[in-house]
Structure 1
Amino acid sequence: MRRRLALHGLVGLGLVSRLGQAHGEAARLLEALREGGAVLMLRHARTEPGVGDPPGFRMGQCATQRNLSEIGRAQARRIGQTLAAQGLEPRAVRCSGWCRCIDTAELAFGRHEVWPALHSFFAKRAALRDPQTAALRHALAQLPARGFEAWVTHQVNITALTGAWVDMGEAVVLRGGPDGGTMLGRLSLAA
C-alpha cells in the first residue's frame, strides 16, 4: 500500500511514465536526498535568450544581467513543489550571487544564502574555476550526514565539478564524503 501511494505521488509529479512504472533513476535520486548527506546541485531555471551576461553586467544589479524568463519562473516554482510533495526540504539553500540563481532559489525554496564558490566563472575560467571547484569539493567532504543541501548555480560550475551537462532547471545529485563527493545522477524536477 505504501509503495502504491509513493508511486501515485510520483505520477502526479511527472516522475512516472505513462505506463505507470517509476523512473528508477528519479526515485533512486529522491531517496538519496531523503537519506541525507547529499546535495541537489541545480542549474538555475530557464532564462531569457542569450549566453553568459550582457556587456555592462554588474553583480547585484539584475537589470544588467540575463534573468529568468516567465517559463523559468514557473519552472523554479515547480521544482520546489515537486520536492515539497515528496516531503523533501533542504536544510540549507546556497546559490550564486547572479540574479537568475537567487530568483531560482527563492521561487523554489523561499530562501537563499549567496556563496561565492557557486558564482559563474564563464568569462574568467582560468582565474576562478580551480579554486571554486576545490571549495565545492571541500564542502562535499564536510557535508553533514543528516539532511541535504540545495546549491543553485551555473552550468560551468556543475561541469567543472562533475563533468556532466544539465539543462536549465535540471540538477545533479551528489553524495558527500571525504573523497570530495560522488555524483549519483541527473534529476529533472520540473517536468
Structure 2
Amino acid sequence: KKLYEICCCTAGGKNLGIGGFCCPAGDKVTSLRIAIRLRTPGHGPSADEWGAHTLRDFDHCMKIMIHEISHIVHGNHSAAFYELMEELTVQYDKYRKTGLVLDKQNMPIVGGQKADSGRHNLSLNEARMTALKAAEARARASSIMGGGGQVGGGGSWRNATPAEMAARAASARQRQWDVENGLDNAELEAMAAND
C-alpha cells in the first residue's frame, strides 16, 4: 500500500547492498510496504566523487520493483517466485517496447499515481511546516484516543480486541525491524509524515 525510498544517508551507511524490500500483507495480493533504493548508495567523504546519490536507471529500479512485487505472492525465492518474476519482466519488456504504458517522459501511466511534486524536494521551511502539521495531527489523535501515562495502567489495550492487539504488536515488530535494518527514527518519521 505504500512505496518508500531507501536512502543510504539515514541508515548511517548500513545495508548498502540492499536494493529493496517488501512486507507482504499475507493475502498474496497486497503489500504493507515496498521500499526501493532509487539512488546509488554511498557513505563517507569521497562518496560523491564516484556518483553516490545519483538516480539509478529506471529499468534497474523497475527490475527491483518486479522482484519485490513477486515477493507479495511468493515469500521465498522458490521456483514459482522466479517464474512469476520472469512473467512480470516479460510483460514489462513487452509494454516498454510497444510504448503502451509510457507517457512522454517514459513513465508508467496505467494504474497507480504519479509522485506529487509538492511532497518531494521541499524547501527547509516547507519541510518544517509539514513536520509541524504531522506533529499536531499526532497530538490531536493522541488526545482523542487517550493514553495511560502511568506504568501498567490506563492503556488503550485494555479495551482492545485480540485483532487490534495483534495489529499493534505487528506494527511494533515492523518498526523494530526497520530500526534494526538501517531505517532510523528520522527516516521513519518522514515516512509517517507522508502517509
**Do both proteins adopt the same fold according to a TM-score greater than 0.5, normalized to the shorter chain?**
no
Asked which structure has the greater RCO (Cα within 8 Å, sep 6+), the reply is 1
Query: As a proportion of its length, which structure holds more helix?
Result: 2
TM-score, normalised relative to structure 1: 0.27
Q: Name whichever structure is richer in strand by fraction.
A: 1
TM-score computed with the length of structure 2 as normaliser: 0.26
